Structure 1
Amino acid sequence: MSSDTFPISSRGNEAGASADKLAVLSTPYGESAGVRRRSVLGAGASGGPGPAPRASAGSETTRAIQSALPASIPPRNQDEPSGYAPGSVLLPLAAETSDAVSMSATTPSEPLQAPADTSPAHGTEAEKGTGAVATVTESSAAAAGSVPAPGVEEAREDPVPAALPDSRTWEESAYAPAPRRRRLPMWTAAASFLLLLGVGTAAYAYASHYEDHAVPGTVVAGTDLSGKTREEVVTAVEDLTAKATVTVSGDVEVTASLEDLGVSVDAEATADAAMARGDALVDRFRALVNDQEIEVVTASDDQALADYATSLIPEDQVKAVNATVLLEEDGATFTITPSSAGTSLDSASLGQAARKAAASLTPTSVSVSFDSSAPEVSDSQAQEAADKANEWVGQDITVATADGTSVYTASAVEKASWITVTNSADAAPTIEVDAAQVTSWVEAQAADAGSEPVNGERNVNSDGEVVSTPVEAVDGEDVNNAAEVSDEIVQALDDNQAYSGAFEMTVVEATWSERTIADGAEKLIYQAEPGEKWIDVDLASRTVTSYEGATVVRGPVTIVDGAEETPTVTGTYQIYLQYDSQTMEGDNIDGSRYRTEDVPWVSYFHSGYAFHGAPWRSDFGYSASHGCVNMPVEEAKWIYDWVDIGTTVVSHY
């Protein structure tokens, strides 16, 4: 039904139905109860349902309902906790088209705690329900014959729950506000952030630490080197190498080191390989789940192994000797040392054991025995290699300059130095051309064939005119194909052929520099810049003249220069050292020593040559000194005060 009221019986109290539209419920147990059925929309329009009616335990309606309960459903005990099962009853109701219709009344598990409704429509005993859709009130209009027998349920259109006592409070009822959804506390989000921050910090610290440390899972020769620095890895490998010995038994009993057996372990290169595992950032994290065995970097010397094996043979036994190739004392001819049969030791087994110990960096053992056999390398094998080397030396190797003015020819000694001979303990000797040696020779000839440019110098006057050219510019040349020539020579010798080639040159242009000189300075021995201080020592006239630019500021002053046996030097120099007083001493021509104390106003311009005062002389204008420029004391002082360190001095005839 969609109306606000549901007519339970057509024979009810018409006065009540007209006022409240109540249907009348007739029961055989006393006064009738009126039931009003309201829809949810109707309840909402009227301001919501009122509190559920609370039936007193002693009311006639309650007693009538309890009397109508089937025997299998005992009446509710008022002292028993409220629940659904004991409170579910079937109430017979009058229908619109029949005298009665059954109604299911469901008693809530707890009574509602709502304020009583004291409106006149329901009386003082009726109360508004908070969750019920029907209200039961006492009435005398019901007929006793309208209720079916207990246990019999007729067909009904819509069960209506009866409003029986309910212990629920208002807050617990269906109309109480729904509980608010719980939200994640702020401390939980903060904890998650801190956790992520901690993980990130730990990852950064891990990556930074292993930037210069071996990453986890780095294993060298079975030893875990994780977390070690490169220096620590080097030390660890060196320590393991020292312990990696070979115990030799059999005909010889000795403990040999790897070095004895011609095997070397490159700890530096091994450490580099171990550290390279963590070069990339992603590799440092992959290392957490992947171990890696780093191979030990080793090198072996077969000749050293053979020499050690031979040294183990007792002196009283003749030792087998291999034929070898060597360069004679003249440095230009290859020859051989002959072989001989005798007692030999199994050097191959020794070498295998040594390589095994080096690879694992752990001690190992091997059993060897003496053999009476022919040498591993015969005379004919060695002679074949020597003859081939001598043929290479006999090939002509020449390189000319581009213009043909110079030709460079390699000597026999130079060509022999280009050939490398390798004598093996168990194979014929081999020879090869050392490309590095050939390149060194070619570059030396190229340097001689080339030339450095000579940069020119021009002096110009204040008008910019070139007034003199002290240095002419000369272009230079560089060889540009030295590498190609080297490769061609190596290939020619490998093919046992002569070689004739030529250098190709590149011109290196010279540059010019211009220097502005004082007007008129082009006529002087030194072409000074305007205002530049310089001193002219004219040995022909035995005078000293001081200039600023082209202007004389002092002199000419008559001097005493060096004697014929100890002449004054000539050239262009600079003042570099001064003393206001000095004791001078040196050698005379006859080999005796001289010593002159308190020489005043000394200004050195080259080595031991200087201007200085000569108070022991009364006249000047001749040659008699040990090479210094002797001057009157006052003139020497003027020079001392006027010059600067670096002032130019030109001495000439």
Structure 2
Amino acid sequence: MTDGANGTDGVTYAWAPPEPAKRKNRSGLWIGIPAGATAVALIAASLVLIAPGASVAGVQIGGLTAGAAAQAISARLATTEVTVESPAGEVTVTGADLGATVDATAIAEKAFADNPMWKPAAWFPAGTGVEVQVDPAAAASVLREKAPGTYRAPVDAAVAFDTGSQSYVATPAEAGEGIDVAAVTAALQSAFDAGTAATSVQAGLVPVDAAVSTEKADAAVAGLNGILDNIGFYIGDERTVPVDRATAASWLTVTSDGKGEFPVAADQAGIQKVVDGLAGQVDRGAVNADVIVDTGGEVIKTLTEGQTGRSIGDTSGIAAAFAAQLAEANGKFALTVAETPFETTKTERHIDVNLSTQTTTLYQNGQVYRTYTISSGAGDHATHTGNFRIGWKTEMQDMGCVPGYDYCTKDVPWVSYFNGDEGFHGTYWHNNFGTPMSHGCINMTIPQAKELFDWAYRGTEVSVHY
């Protein structure tokens, strides 16, 4: 319709068609399906991923698994560069060159435990500092390779046998010199903490200790000389066959392991040469004992020591066993022998002095051995009765001849005292035996006194009676 037709200005208007009927909204169904799947995936991810924004020493680990985070942390450390300004100029090394490590797995697992994705309040935490560990040997090696002018090698302590002193001696260690690894490590730590990929440090030269110290060598020397002090083949506590120090040292090879230990190896063939002669030094027949006893059977004198017989028998395997034992720093080798017991012959001796008959009788095994006519003490000097034992003996002495005695007899021979100053002795000043004549001693002829002196040992019983 036009205005012309309706008396308007001639503009034609088109009316909008009527609004179609409103259809039922099903968008929720189509949109809800992927949204649910997304929610499930998000829940699953929150169980294994670290919260967004989490970082360790500048390494962003948010949204990563603990394993992937550990790899990222380690990779950052390995590629971090340190430019070292040393007296020999500049050298650049990486964390990998220095053998640098961190416990990245433990750190990442802790980051996940503290900052899981499902815990929004924990998102965007502050960075976590970690300690960098540098392998000193690897660091020293790479710095030495890159700046050889800064390095003087240390000299390890050494151990050797000295033929002059017949002992092992130590040569002291000598310190070397190299770039200060601690300063380089500190610089790497600072760069890693700051999350920077490169840094520089001025590092001076410091002493480099030898791998084998003087103290370690001294300890090895003490152990080796301990072996030499006691080495040999033993029967019980007896070192039956000693081995001289030079021979023992010729068996031993002592080497350094480069870490401070000095393992010992023993020459089985050298040991075998001594083992081959063991029978001649160990085997022996039994030796019977011969002893003098009193009437109670107690030994008062051993004339011959008894000795057990022994035989070593088969010696195969001894050299190998001793070699293994020496490698364990034990120089006392215990021999196994078959023993033969010895017998003991006992001879009982005692002396009887009869003052009534003026006789002295020596008894051996209950039988009369000798009977002598004697002169005992007379008058106020009568010989005391009782049971005594031979004590002090002397081949000759002056009797009396000191204040308090009313006589002086020079050079009295073969004196065997049994009761204070009373004893048997030889007599040259009278021949009136059978009659009391002395100041208390038992006077005898000189040959008789000598025979008693030799026969009666200290401890021999003496019975004096009427």
Q: Into which bin does the TM-score normalised by the smaller protein fall?
A: 0.3 to 0.5
TM-score (ref. length: structure 1): 0.24
TM-score normalised by length of structure 2:
0.32
Structure with larger Rg? 1
Higher relative contact order (CA 8 A, sep 6+): 2
